[in-house]
Amino acid sequence: MNFLSQLALKPRAWQLLAVSALSFELMALYFQYGMGLEPCIMCVYQRTAIWGIFLAGVVGAFTCQWPIMRLIAYGLWGTGAIWGGLIALEHVDMQASTMSFLFSCEFTPNFPSWAPLHQWLPALFEATGDCGDIKWQFLGFTMPQVMVAIFAGYSLALITVVTASLFKNRTI
């Protein structure tokens, strides 16, 4: 328990979080540009959630000694992991529905007007695919199903670290 409670105070742990998220982003870019799998709007939102987790790792790596900055990093991590998981679950439902023709996804992301990521970085955040298409599987699991597992892993890691920190140190 002591080991887990101390993780949030170590820049290396936060760097590992950032590197893992960056690895998933690089894989997404390989799927898009190397394998020709066009991302749909749900994929773009999941990609955005992973960038949030990456940002949490960067913030945590540089500022983990300050409690308020750790809270901000936890917030980014939690927002990315939970929001991304919810989007991935919705995407799984879209693909699994026998009435998938009723589901339609937009082609323009609904980013805030102050941060139109799809205009600033279209190579990363522009949606060109269809949410219902299943063009890739790994061991019988679709991309959104794999993403559910990834976001669940990030959520579980966050819950574990925060819980250990609360019980051991009584501070976040």
User: Which has more confidence, 108 or 4?
Assistant: 108
Question: pLDDT (tens digit, 9 = 90+) per residue, 126-160?
Answer: 888 888 778 888 898 999 999 999 999 999 999 99
Whole-number mean pLDDT of the chain? 88
Give me the domains of the chain, ranges plus CATH numbers: 2-96+137-169 (1.20.1550.10)
User: 0.85 exceeded by the pTM?
Assistant: yes
What's residue 102's pLDDT?
60
* Three-class secondary structure assignment of 120-136: HCHHHHCCCCCCCCCCC
Confidence of residue 20 (pLDDT cuts 50, 70, 90): very high
DSSP string, the chain: -HHHHHHTT-HHHHHHHHHHHHHHHHHHHIIIIIS-----HHHHHHHHHHHHHHHHHHHHHHHTTSHHHHHHHHHHHHHHHHHHHHHHHHHHHHHH-TTGGG----SS----TT--HHHH-HHHH---S-TT----EETTEEHHHHHHHHHHHHHHHHHHHHHHHHHHHS--
Q: At residue 100, does pLDDT exceed 70?
A: no
55 pLDDT higher than 90: yes
Residue-wise pLDDT for 67-96, tens only, equals 999 999 999 999 999 999 999 999 998 888
Q: Which residues are catalytic?
A: 40, 43, 47, 105, 131
Q: For residue 136, what pLDDT is reported?
A: 84
Report the C-alpha gap between 100 and 78 in whole angstroms: 30
What sign does the CA torsion over 14, 15, 19, 20 have?
negative
Asked whether residue 26 carries a pLDDT value surpassing 90, the answer given is: yes
pLDDT tens digits, residue range 101-133?
A: 566 677 777 788 888 888 898 888 888 888 877
